[in-house]
Amino acid sequence: MKEHNKVMNPLLAPFNTPFNTVPFSKIKEAHYLPAIKEAIKIAKEEIEEIKSNSEAPSFENTIEALESAGGLLNKVSDIFFNINSAETNDEIQKLAQEISPLLSAYSNDIQLDEQLFARVKAVYDQKDGLTLTVERATLLDKAYKGFVRNGALLEDGDKERLREIDKELAGLSLKFGEHVLAETNAYTLVLDNEEDLKGLPESAVEAAAQTAQEKGHDGKWVITLDHPSYGPFLTYADNRKLREKMFLAFSRRAFGKDKNDNRDIVLKMVALRKERANLLGYKTHADFVLERRMAESPDKVFDFLNNLLNQAQPVAREELQELTDYARQNRGPDPLQRWDFAYYAEKLKKEKFSIEDELLKPYFKLENVVDGVFQVSNKLYGLNFRERNDIDKYHPDVVTYEVTDENGEHVAIFYADFFPRAGKRNGAWMTAFQGQFKKPEKAQRPHASIVCNFTKPTPSKPSLLTFNEVTTLFHEFGHALHGMLANGHYESLSGTHVYWDFVELPSQILENWCYEKECLDLFARHYETGEKIPEEYVQRIKDSANFNEGLATIRQLSFALLDMAWHTTEPETIKDVADFERETLDATNLFPKVDGINMSCAFGHIFQGGYSSGYYSYKWAEVLDADAFEFFKEKGIFNREVADLFKKHILSAGGSEHPMILYKRFRGKEPSPQALLRRAGILKDKVA
């Protein structure tokens, strides 16, 4: 019966598909839980083989064997949680609440297994006498410290408490995300008066009508909290009261004293993370996290953030004053409220630079932008992308490609999922359905995916991207390149498996190409006439690149400082989520206070994703990417010599060595923060 079930469950049977891709159409909700349970059982058997090996512990029979153990479980759980993010439903969310504790328990069973740790420690203790490659030495160090950082040295009672904490945190994180998604999906602004649409571009009006039709409001218009709907409304709608209404709805998600309220979850998660860190001998959760980051400590992160804050604040205040003066001159409100910012910023930007999203969007048809990023990766790294219709998809919107190199050799599979829907969480991200590794008996190439929420095509127009969406696509594709060009021996050190404050370098650097005429000329053509984007428009994009950059920097720093505050403050001193957030953000809040709103309760990066004590990494990586792109600019943005260095030492190297060593091999020196300040226009000095 067991073998029969194994064959009947497509997650457990051999896939027998092109490139071993996931057979999504064969997988039903009912398959996930049995597959997870069976995969855990198999993984435990693999671990038992390592423990019961009668030979003395060695790198091969312990560290490499441990790296390979649980391969099926990793595959099944990756598929499940990717679907939970991109195409979820009530049944999948319910399954996630069952599956997460099982995985937490399994992970703890491994990390707290004394016999297994004894073998790992035996190899680690003799590391100085072993002849290991750098990559092998990194794997050994990561394996040993992974056990220690997960409680291997704790007493039995503390180990049991650690298990309880991890199980509870896994469940709370899932609930947090479900609440935010439910709140996002539940709110709609139904408009039946055409006057309320005044100021909105035609494309936004048409999209609102299409959404209304999809939601059963024929003849009306519907605005939602999904970014392709919410963003244009806040930016263009003349009706200030409706802008305020939408802003408040967005800013009150999961902060409403109802079943989706995340306040208690936030306080509980923060307390549990602190308790976990203390159990393991760390002062705070931030101390625990940052030990395995380039930044190393909370003090260094705060110094880094506050230094940027001090440089950006005067610039941001000047920008806000300019915007306030502009609004006043145009009979706008004084002071400006937060729901006024995007509206007047867009108008001032248009006036100063003769540029706006609606002017540029016709040149950024989604399919052309995708082709553009493919051409960029071909010029830099010799990659070719061919759409494949024989690869299964989890939703009809998904497009699948085979990626090959200049010799026609298979490199990766690439999935692209671009449009919002009820089962997909907001935002944009890169993920993978299969990682990369090299073994003597088998080499596995990656299956990477990017997931975005761009404006859908309408009956009269294709999907036309804002310039910000163009940079978002390039950003996520940069992550995908990091995954697709992985070339390590061990999956846990391959591709994007790097220090968290290094992982944004490949994504953020690729955004720089969007501002270069040499790049835009490859793909930016009018969707109706085929006309190449005018040179003057490209110049306007460059000229306006730093518009309100001080305010944008302050905004990012506020998120990072809030994250650090949650994870360095004694939880018992925090009595109220809203009060704590307000006090923390006081130094970065340049707008009038708004009651009844809260960011923490919808801050998925740190309470649902993996960015707790790590949101600063966006700015940290900006320093790296600004410095790295200066190298490209010196030699030429499509210079293959520089691209080869970046590919070899950054994209293909993964986490095989400490990131600063890899960066210096690429650049020849440590990164300079001045490069970021120069690019942002915050530092006027042009001298390196």
Number of residues written out for the chain: 688
CA distance 428 to 417: 10
Distances (CA, A) of 326 to 432, 452, 545: 46, 34, 19
Find the helix packing angle between 298-329 and 617-635, rounded to 10°. Answer: 80
The answer to whether 312 and 557 are in contact (CB under 8 A) is: yes
The 8 Å CB, 24+ separation contacts for 148-155 are 149/280, 149/288, 149/291, 149/292, 150/107, 150/108, 150/111, 150/112, 150/280, 151/108, 151/111, 151/112, 151/279, 151/280, 152/111, 152/112, 152/114, 152/117, 154/112, 154/279, 154/280
**Which residues on neighbouring strands pair with residue 191, listed in sequence order?**
221
C-alpha torsion angle, residues 262, 265, 266, 272 (rounded to 10) = -170
Cβ-count burial 483-513 (b if 16+ within 10 Å, e if not): bbbbbbbbbbbbbbbbbbbbbbbbbbbbbbb
Tokens standing for residue 38: 């069976």
- Please count the CA atoms within 13 angstroms of the CA of 123 that sit on its side-chain side: 27
Please classify residue 570 by burial: count the beta carbons closer than 10 Å to its beta carbon, then call 0-12 exposed, 13-18 middle and 19+ buried: exposed
Distances (CA, A) of 55 to 45, 65, 121, 141, 440: 18, 13, 15, 22, 22
The answer to whether 495 and 237 are in contact (CB under 8 A) is: no
CA distance 246 to 253: 11
CA distance 416 to 436: 19
Candidates 66, 80, 3; CA nearest to 36 is 80
Candidates 532, 492, 550, 425; CA nearest to 141 is 492
Q: Is 402 designated active site?
A: no
Catalytic residue among 64, 476, 511, 581: 476
Tokens standing for residue 508: 């953020």
| Sign of the alpha-carbon dihedral angle for 666, 628, 407, 403 | positive
Q: Give catalytic residue positions.
A: 476
